[in-house]
Chain A
Amino acid sequence: GAGVSQSPSNKVTEKGKDVELRCDPISGHTALYWYRQRLGQGLEFLIYFQGNSAPDKSGLPSDRFSAERTGESVSTLTIQRTQQEDSAVYLCASSLVSRTGANYGYTFGSGTRLTVV
């Protein structure tokens, strides 16, 4: 697609339920990133996918968080047993990473606003 697409744009869920957030990156972008922004705070890195390499999961805050990406296509971020502190805007970005490691076309999606009540 023309841009990074995220769905849903808004999600309200009850505490304890599982949620799935989706990110559809720009076609051809090899790298995909998930970030989180809690209200009034900065962006936090969650997870990074690059091609078929093992993902960098170092930013995931707990084992309730997981993400998958098949090849260079869609990614889903899953939060199990949601807690109120999970309420945040979840942002996805994608980019094209060259063989030399140069990063091109870093593009953010418009985010999913998650509210846990």
Chain B
Amino acid sequence: KNEVEQSPQNLTAQEGEFITINCSYSVGISALHWLQQHPGGGIVSLFMLSSGKKKHGRLIATINIQEKHSSLHITASHPRDSAVYICAAPPSGSARQLTFGSGTQLTVLP
């Protein structure tokens, strides 16, 4: 069992829809990362959060430490949001390498 699990694996939405991607983890963590990977491979770090909620533009990330669950929301989705979204976490008490979820392939249709 992967220590970091994401769902869904694939998601297709119509432009304008509200999107939610979920991430559950089984390890104790100090913080959780949400990453975006566009075709061509470049990775952008969207959020790092250890509690509560963060917002950047149309992106919102929330985390519930007790339930070991995080969600990434995209409001008013747009075709340019099409990418792979990956959640990742370092083991608790460690700044070491991230454990990655398998990613969610999001496709937003015009």
Which residues of A pack against B, CB within 8 Å?
Answer: 31, 33, 35, 37, 42-43, 45, 48, 50, 56, 59, 89, 91, 95, 97, 101-104, 106-108, 110-111, 113
Contacts and interface: CB of A to CB of B under 8 A. Distances in A.
Contact of A43 (B95, B96, B100): B100
Nearest to B33: A106
B97 A45 contact: yes
A106 B45 contact: yes
A106 B90 CA distance: 11
Given A33-B97, A42-B100, A111 B42 contact: yes
Contacts of B30: 101-103
A91 B86 CA distance: 14
Nearest to A110: B42
B93 A45 contact: no
Interface string B25-48: 000001101010000011111001
A107 B94 CA distance: 17
Contact of B41 (A31, A37, A45, A56): A37
B76 interface: no
Contacts of A97: 95
Interface residues of B, number: 23
A91 B48 CA distance: 18
B97 A59 contact: yes
Contact of A103 (B31, B41, B86): B31
B45 A107 contact: yes
A91 B94 contact: no
Residue with the highest number of chain B CB atoms closer than 10 Å, among A50, A59, A95: A95
Interface in B45-86: 45, 48, 86
B88 to A, nearest CB: 8
B7 interface: no
A42 B9 CA distance: 12
A95 B95 contact: yes
